[in-house]
């Protein structure tokens, strides 16, 4: 996969830019706040359909302007294409593929693939569960459009159900918080029915999402372990990484990867999302919603569902989040990103474009050399505010250095 060129207009601090990329390593260098990360964000927007920092589409439009525009031309092993993404403050977004306006966004996303690695990802092991779920969700959303849709409808549904639970909470009597009551004596039939409908839909969506996340972990776990092993090859002790998917829908809370379960999961095609495992999870959620309805109403929030799932990372049998050293945690984070790229390669027969935002200066010499070695043969776009070291220049026969200054970009080499 190659990002051939990009044209940008009034996107964040970039007034106008037109950049041709090298097939190898591209270094975007410049002082702070010049627009380096903004450029990566524009590239990533075309692969994921959304900004990567907690931002809305409108935040991407340059202050005082009406529209932002990004047009990216890319090439895969089998075809070339271009996507134009226009965001208007009043009209919202419009998408074009090869100049043709597209109504179905599923026709636009999922073809041009990136792996984004920024300093925030280095704490993926010690941060809360949301960032580890996001690691999976981002991959699956780029791989399967139906997953992205499912996730979006899940979030909407969760908001609706939480709003209903809050509303129900507000009509409780003080004694309802410690004394038991039945739903039918406190709430109108229509309210109880609506809660049931939401619960059913949430159980359904949770089961689908959780099943596919589990399957993804089955695929990525051995790749992750092997990257970790290679990065730490010169360590005296061999360290083994395991992943666990933890959910309140599992009988004992945890599902690990026993080979039989693994085989059964892998034999179900991804698009057929009604595996026996999925059905069992759905049933479990339904029974949890039934059993704990009053508790959920008292707290005014949904206590169960795949938004509560956790991906635990174990290093030699102990949880890395609590027991691994900072160095080990960062190595795991690095292995997670490389594994993401490798799995994308295995599934699509094409390397994704790697976007490294200020990451090389965060790594020591050994890890830096490992990353650059691994990414030989891939297109890499790196931002850096430091002088570019020899290692990077030597990493590829085709290095392009692009200077960022106040939202403008010029090729230096
Ligand atoms: N919508 C916007 N309109 C104008 N400027 C913006 C907008 N969003 C962010 N910026 C500016 O972009 C700059 C940050 O650019 P960034 O790409 O993060 O810098 P860096 O080169 O350090 O990676 C900041 O000065 C910020 O104020
Ligand atoms: Mg930056």
Ligand 1 binding pocket includes 86 (Cβ within 6 Å): no
Residue nearest to atom 3 of ligand 1 (CA): 62
Instruction: Confirm whether 300 is domain-assigned.
Output: yes
- CATH classification of the domain holding 318: 1.20.1050.90
Instruction: Confirm whether 159 is domain-assigned.
Output: yes
**Separation of 36 CA from ligand 2 center, angstroms?**
5
**Separation of 356 CA from ligand 2 center, angstroms?**
10
What pLDDT, in 10s, does the model give residues 124-153? 999 999 999 999 999 998 888 888 889 999
Pick from 303, 324, 315: which is nearest to 244 by CA?
Answer: 315
Ligand 1 binding pocket includes 121 (Cβ within 6 Å): no
Per-residue pLDDT, 164: 98
Ligand 1 binding pocket includes 67 (Cβ within 6 Å): no
Indicate if 91 and 32 belong to the same structural domain. yes
Indicate if 144 and 241 belong to the same structural domain. yes
Indicate if 77 and 146 belong to the same structural domain. no
Indicate if 224 and 155 belong to the same structural domain. yes
Ligand 1 binding pocket includes 64 (Cβ within 6 Å): no
Ligand 1 binding pocket includes 206 (Cβ within 6 Å): no
CA separation for the pair 368, 381 (Å, rounded)? 15
With the C-alpha atoms ordered 74, 104, 152, 221, is the resulting torsion angle positive or negative?
A: negative
Q: Which two tokens stand for residue 147?
A: 């997953």
Mean of the pLDDT values across residues 328-348? 95
Ligand 1 binding pocket includes 62 (Cβ within 6 Å): yes
Indicate if 94 and 156 belong to the same structural domain. no
Ligand 1 binding pocket includes 35 (Cβ within 6 Å): yes
- At residue 360, φ and ψ (nearest 5 deg) are -65, -35
**Separation of 12 CA from ligand 2 center, angstroms?**
13
Q: Band the pLDDT of 276: cuts 50, 70, 90.
A: confident
- CATH classification of the domain holding 385: 3.40.50.300
Contacts with 333 (C-beta within 8 Å, 6 or more apart), sequence order: 121, 122, 123, 124, 125
Instruction: Confirm whether 27 is domain-assigned.
Output: yes
> CA triplet 216, 220, 224: central angle to 5 degrees?
155
Residue nearest to atom 16 of ligand 1 (CA): 35
User: Candidates 8, 15, 17, 38: which one to mutate for ligand 1, based on the most atoms within 8 Å of Cβ?
Assistant: 38
Instruction: Confirm whether 55 is domain-assigned.
Output: yes
Ligand 1 binding pocket includes 180 (Cβ within 6 Å): no
CA separation for the pair 144, 129 (Å, rounded)? 22
Per-residue pLDDT, 260: 55
Work out which ligand 1 atom sits closest to the CA atom of 13.
5
Indicate if 146 and 264 belong to the same structural domain. yes
What pLDDT, in 10s, does the model give residues 5-40? 999 999 999 999 999 999 999 999 999 999 999 999
Q: Band the pLDDT of 265: cuts 50, 70, 90.
A: low
Indicate if 9 and 50 belong to the same structural domain. yes
Contact in structure between 413 and 35 (CB atoms under 8 Å) = no
Instruction: Confirm whether 332 is domain-assigned.
Output: no
CA separation for the pair 378, 351 (Å, rounded)? 6
**Separation of 357 CA from ligand 2 center, angstroms?**
6
For β-strands 100-102 and 92-97, DSSP reports them as antiparallel
Residue ending a domain, among 323, 342, 360, is 323
Instruction: Confirm whether 52 is domain-assigned.
Output: yes
Owning domain of residue 165:
131-323
Instruction: Confirm whether 205 is domain-assigned.
Output: yes
- At residue 237, φ and ψ (nearest 5 deg) are -105, 140
Q: Band the pLDDT of 268: cuts 50, 70, 90.
A: low
Indicate if 365 and 232 belong to the same structural domain. no
**Separation of 232 CA from ligand 1 center, angstroms?**
37
Share of the chain above pLDDT 70, in %: 94
Q: Band the pLDDT of 269: cuts 50, 70, 90.
A: low
Q: What is the mean pLDDT of the chain?
A: 90
Domains contained in the chain, number: 2
Ligand 1 binding pocket includes 34 (Cβ within 6 Å): yes
What pLDDT, in 10s, does the model give residues 162-220? 999 999 999 999 999 999 899 999 999 999 999 999 999 999 999 999 988 988 998 89
Distances (CA, A) of 381 to 98, 117, 220: 23, 10, 24
- Location of structure tokens 């027969």: 349
Q: Band the pLDDT of 358: cuts 50, 70, 90.
A: very high
Helix 189-231 to helix 326-348 angle, to the nearest 10 degrees?
100
Q: Band the pLDDT of 107: cuts 50, 70, 90.
A: confident
Indicate if 239 and 162 belong to the same structural domain. yes
User: Candidates 30, 32, 35, 355: which one to mutate for ligand 1, based on the most atoms within 8 Å of Cβ?
Assistant: 35
Residue nearest to atom 25 of ligand 1 (CA): 33
Contacts with 219 (C-beta within 8 Å, 6 or more apart), sequence order: 266, 343
Work out which ligand 1 atom sits closest to the CA atom of 30.
21
Contact in structure between 123 and 360 (CB atoms under 8 Å) = no
CA separation for the pair 407, 387 (Å, rounded)? 19
Indicate if 100 and 218 belong to the same structural domain. no
User: In this structure, what is the dihedral angle of CA atoms 45, 48, 49, 55, given to the nearest 10 degrees?
Assistant: -70
Ligand 1 binding pocket includes 13 (Cβ within 6 Å): yes
Work out which ligand 1 atom sits closest to the CA atom of 404.
21
Indicate if 317 and 190 belong to the same structural domain. yes
| Nearest ligand atom owner, CA of 28 | 1
Distances (CA, A) of 105 to 53, 181, 219: 21, 47, 27
Q: Is the pLDDT of residue 263 over 60?
A: no
Indicate if 150 and 256 belong to the same structural domain. yes
In this prediction the pTM is 0.90
Instruction: Confirm whether 405 is domain-assigned.
Output: yes
């Amino acid at each position: 996969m190659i990002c051939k060129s990009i044209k940008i207009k009034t996107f964040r601090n970039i007034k106008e830019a037109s950049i041709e990329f090298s097939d190898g390593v591209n270094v975007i260098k410049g002082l702070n706040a010049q627009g380096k990360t903004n450029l990566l964000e524009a590239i990533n927007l075309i692969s994921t359909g959304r900004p990567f920092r907690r931002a809305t589409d409108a935040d991407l439009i340059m202050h005082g302007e009406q529209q932002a525009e990004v047009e990216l031309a890319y090439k895969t092993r089998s075809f070339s294409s271009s996507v134009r993404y226009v965001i208007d403050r009043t009209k919202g977004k419009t998408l074009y593929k090869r100049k043709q306006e597209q109504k179905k966004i599923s026709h636009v996303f999922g073809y041009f693939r990136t792996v984004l690695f920024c300093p925030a990802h280095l704490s993926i092991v010690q941060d809360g569960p949301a960032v580890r779920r996001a690691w999976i969700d981002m991959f699956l959303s780029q791989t399967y459009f139906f997953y992205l849709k499912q996730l979006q409808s899940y979030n909407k549904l969760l908001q609706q159900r939480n709003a209903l639970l809050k509303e129900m909470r507000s009509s409780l009597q003080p004694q309802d918080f410690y004394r038991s009551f039945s739903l039918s004596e406190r709430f109108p039939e229509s309210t109880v029915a609506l809660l049931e409908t939401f619960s059913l839909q949430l159980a359904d969506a949770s089961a689908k999402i959780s099943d596919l996340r589990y399957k993804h972990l089955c695929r990525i776990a051995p790749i992750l372990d092997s990257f970790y092993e290679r990065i730490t090859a010169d360590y005296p002790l061999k360290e083994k990484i395991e992943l666990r998917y933890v959910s309140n829908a599992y009988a004992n809370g945890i599902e690990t990867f026993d080979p039989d379960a693994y085989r059964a999961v892998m034999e179900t095609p991804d698009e057929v999302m009604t595996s026996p495992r999925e059905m069992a999870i759905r049933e479990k959620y339904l029974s949890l919603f039934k059993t704990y309805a009053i508790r959920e109403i008292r707290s005014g929030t949904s206590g169960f569902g795949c938004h509560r799932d956790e991906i635990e990372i174990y290093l030699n049998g102990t949880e890395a989040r609590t027991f691994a050293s900072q160095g080990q945690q960062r190595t795991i984070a690095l292995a997670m990103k490389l594994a993401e790229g490798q799995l994308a390669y295995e599934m699509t027969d094409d390397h994704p474009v790697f976007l490294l935002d200020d990451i090389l200066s965060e790594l020591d010499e050994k890890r830096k050399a490992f990353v650059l070695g691994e990414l030989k043969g891939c297109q890499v776009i790196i931002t850096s505010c430091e002088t570019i070291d020899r290692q990077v220049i030597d990493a590829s026969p085709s290095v392009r250095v692009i200077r960022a200054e106040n939202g403008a970009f010029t090729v230096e080499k």
